[in-house]
Structure 1
């Protein structure tokens, strides 16, 4: 039996050997998130207000999100630190820009009948970088993932991810189960201390993006969104350390400072990602307690791990220089 992400986070932190979680830092982070929600800075609408993302009324929005989140992993390389850029964007936003450029060029990149059979030459053209030389990392794995999900959509879902979402009947937990069952490249799991744990970064960000894009309505309406945790990647832990909620033991800090490449499933990697999930769940719990005790006034639908993750991820990008001294774990993986 595989523990779900929330259970996994709890189990991993309980058995962690390489890091510790700090309650004072969790409280500090909860207060920061509350301020951002109250100021209006943290809002589900921010997804669609970003011009690079589709709008809810875009007929291909769900399919666009599915393609992007199928390919949303690993934008760094261990030997060449030249950043992959498209239209001036880096990382995840470079991917979005590449997909949007392909659509503008008439490439049917959101159609599973097309991308289930996409060839290397076409995908290389889709992913071409601004400098014409830097290639997107793990290219061969990206083409495998794209063909895999496209074929499964064609076989079981009439070619549309929208049909998968509708089959979940407004349950985020059911949609998560469908995604990781139907599409193996989203099955982000590991063996840790005698248990099978799950992190499900890309599967959960896919659900979060559907919710954000559709403003929690229609296709994005979920009645159990609280079951979705944060999206455990390699950059958010820098923010958790910055706020004092996560602390690496000297052995792990020394290893990360040397730019050591970890294998996917390494217990040190699993601990960092599991602790990230646990901390965000604790932050969410703290905010809900304050709301219940009427210490604060907030729209309850804003208090979920998706929005807290949005804050952490955006914070890292906005304060990149300030946080660069904090080493991050490096794994060449299709899972994040």
Structure 2
């Protein structure tokens, strides 16, 4: 049996050897999130207000999100390398910019019939970098992922991811099951301390992006959004350490500082990602408890792991220079 991401995080933190979760930092982070929601800084609208993302009214919105999250992995570069850039954007936003540019150029990149057969030469043109030299990491794996999901959509879902969304019948947990069972490149699992655990970063961010894009309405109306956890990647842990909710033991800190590349499924990697999920779930629980006791006032719909993750990820980008001294774990993986 594979544990859900939340159950997995509890199992991982209970058995962790390389890091410690700190309750005081969880409380500090909860206060920060509450303040951000109350001031309007943190809102589901942040997704649709970003010009690089599609709007709910765009007919291609769901298929765009599916393609982008199929490819939403591994943007880090070693410190002595040039960053991959498209239209001045780096990381995830460079990917979005490349997909948008392809669509502007008339490339049918959100059509499963097209990307199920896309070849290297065509995809290189889609992903061409600003400097003409620095290619997107894991290029071959990106072709394989697009071919895999496109083929499966054509075989079973009439070529449309929106049919998968419909089949979930407004259940986020059912949609998560469908994504990881239908599309193996989303099946982000590991074995940790004798137990199969799940982290499901890209599968859950796919659901979170649909919820955010549609403002929790229409295709984004999920009746069990609380089942979705944060999206365990390599950047958010830097923020968790900064806020004092996560601490690496000296052995792990030395490994990360020396830029060791870990294998996907390595216990150290699984612990970092599992602890990230655990901390965000505890932050969410703490805010909901304050709401229940009427200690605070805010819109309960805004208290979910998706928005907490948005806060953490945005915080890292806004304070990149300040957080640069905190090492992040490096893994060449299609899962995040």
Length-normalised TM-score, structure 2: 0.99
Q: Which residue pairs with 1:296 in the alignment?
A: 296
Identify the residue that residue 191 of structure 1 maps to in structure 2: 191
2:225 aligned partner? 225
Matches within 5 A, 1:57-96: 57-78=57-78, 81-96=81-96
Per-residue CA deviations over 1:114-164 (Å, capped at 9, x if unaligned) read 000011110000000000111000000000000000000000000000000
Unaligned stretches of 5+ residues in structure 2: none
How far 1:19 sits from its partner (Å)?
A: 0.3
- 1:79, distance to aligned residue in structure 2 (A): 7.9
Partner of 1:104: 104
Give, in whole Å, the separation in 2 of the partners of 1:287 and 1:78. 37
Aligned to 2:147: 147
C-alpha distance in 2 between matches for 1:12 and 1:203 = 20
Distance 2:314 2:77 in 1: 22
The reply to whether residue 176 of structure 1 matches residue 181 of structure 2 is: no
Q: Aligned equivalents of 2:6 and 2:224: distance in 1?
A: 14
Show the 5 A alignment for 1:1-336.
Answer: 1-78=1-78, 81-336=81-336
By how many angstroms is 1:75 displaced? 1.1
Provide the secondary structure at the position in 2 that maps to 1:190. Answer: strand
Distance between the aligned counterparts of 2:304 and 2:126, measured in 1?
34
Cα displacement string for residues 206-242 of structure 1 (whole angstroms, at most 9, x for unaligned residues): 0000000000000000000000000000000000000
Task: Kindly provide the CA deviation profile for residues 29-49 of structure 1, in whole angstroms up to 9, marking residues without a partner as x.
Answer: 000000000000000011000
Q: Find runs of 4+ consecutive structure 1 residues off by over 4 angstroms.
A: none
CA RMSD in angstroms comes to 0.7
What is the distance in 2 between the residues matched to 1:197 and 1:322? 33
TM-score (ref. length: structure 1): 0.99
